[in-house]
């Protein structure tokens, strides 16, 4: 077990050297793939731990999956920025933060992930322009526990806590939207104003590229006030998305 943990830690440490825009993109992609096999391997060992009735080990392997996922996403963020894809890079930045937060929650061995999270936050301030975030209010008729599938209010599991290598989440059922609000500190920073309508076209909020409207597009005063918003993201584990899909 100790040997395995040392191996995982050393792979993650090596990959962390590639979290810089100065590094070669091809080498960065290779590191992402190496960490992806770590995530896969940790998943297999998680299953073994469950078979051996070892919940602590199962949660430790979950933590490795999250921590490796966070490094993968930070590397992909830099690669995507070099590819002139700031919106996709932003999503990877948020995914990296989610991975670190989950690693912290998975096992006490990852408590130091908080420091990395602060480092990432300062990167956000430095490299991304200030953004406008939105928050969606909604009502859900049912709240189900992701671990036992019972009513969350009636079961013994706690949201965000790991159980046998899996996080407890609340699954909202029968949702009705309530309102959309601009907020400074959103629960999910993927929910933001993506583009705004200008007289000459639609402007991307990050790249500032203006895309002309299609022929026949009628622009009145009201549509000039409109913006395209990403209001909802369903992906709970974006840091586990394969690099092949994210970068190609």
Contacting residues toward Zn ion, per CB under 5 A: 145, 147-148, 155, 157
Identity of the residue, 148 or 227, whose beta carbon is nearer to Zn ion in the bound complex: 148
Nearer to Zn ion, 155 or 194 (CB): 155
Please state, in angstroms and rounded to a whole number, the distance separating the CA atoms of residues 152 and 125: 37
Residue 166 or 204 having the CB closest to Zn ion: 166
Q: How far is the CB of 199 from Zn ion (least distance, A)?
A: 53
CB 151 → Zn ion: shortest distance, Å? Answer: 9
- Closer residue to Zn ion in complex, CB, 48/142: 142
Nearer to Zn ion, 164 or 213 (CB): 164
Name the token pair of 98. Answer: 């989610």
CB of residue 156 vs Zn ion: minimum separation in angstroms? 6
Q: How far is the CB of 143 from Zn ion (least distance, A)?
A: 11
199-224 burial, b at 16+ Cβ within 10 Å, e below that, comes to eeebbebbeeeeeebeeeeeeeeeee
From CA 99, how far away is CA 114, in angstroms rounded? Answer: 11
- CB 111 to Zn ion: min, Å: 25
Q: Least distance (Å) from Zn ion to the CB of residue 31?
A: 37
Q: Which is nearer to Zn ion, 67 or 145 (CB)?
A: 145
């Amino acid at each position: 077990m100790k040997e395995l943990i040392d191996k995982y830690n050393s792979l993650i440490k090596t990959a962390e050297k590639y979290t810089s825009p100065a590094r070669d993109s091809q080498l960065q992609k290779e590191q992402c793939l190496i960490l992806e096999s770590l995530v896969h391997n940790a998943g297999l060992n998680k299953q073994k731990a469950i078979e051996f009735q070892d919940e602590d080990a199962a949660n430790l392997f979950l933590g490795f999956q999250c921590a490796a996922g966070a490094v993968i996403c930070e590397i992909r963020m830099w690669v995507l920025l070099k590819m002139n894809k700031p919106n996709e890079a932003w999503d990877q930045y948020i995914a990296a933060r989610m991975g670190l937060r989950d690693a912290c929650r998975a096992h006490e061995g990852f408590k130091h992930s908080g420091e990395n999270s602060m480092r990432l936050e300062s990167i956000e301030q430095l490299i991304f322009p200030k953004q406008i975030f939105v928050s969606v209010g909604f009502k859900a008729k049912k709240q189900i526990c992701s671990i036992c599938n019972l009513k969350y209010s009636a079961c013994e599991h706690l949201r965000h806590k790991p159980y046998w290598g899996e996080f407890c989440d609340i699954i909202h059922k029968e949702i009705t939207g309530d309102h959309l609000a601009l907020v400074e500190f959103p629960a999910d920073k993927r929910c933001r104003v993506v583009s705004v309508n200008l007289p000459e076209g639609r402007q991307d909020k990050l790249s500032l590229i203006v895309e002309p409207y299609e022929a026949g597009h009628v622009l009145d005063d009201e549509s000039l006030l409109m913006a395209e918003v990403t209001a909802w993201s369903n992906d709970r584990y974006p840091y586990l998305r394969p690099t092949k899909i994210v970068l190609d």
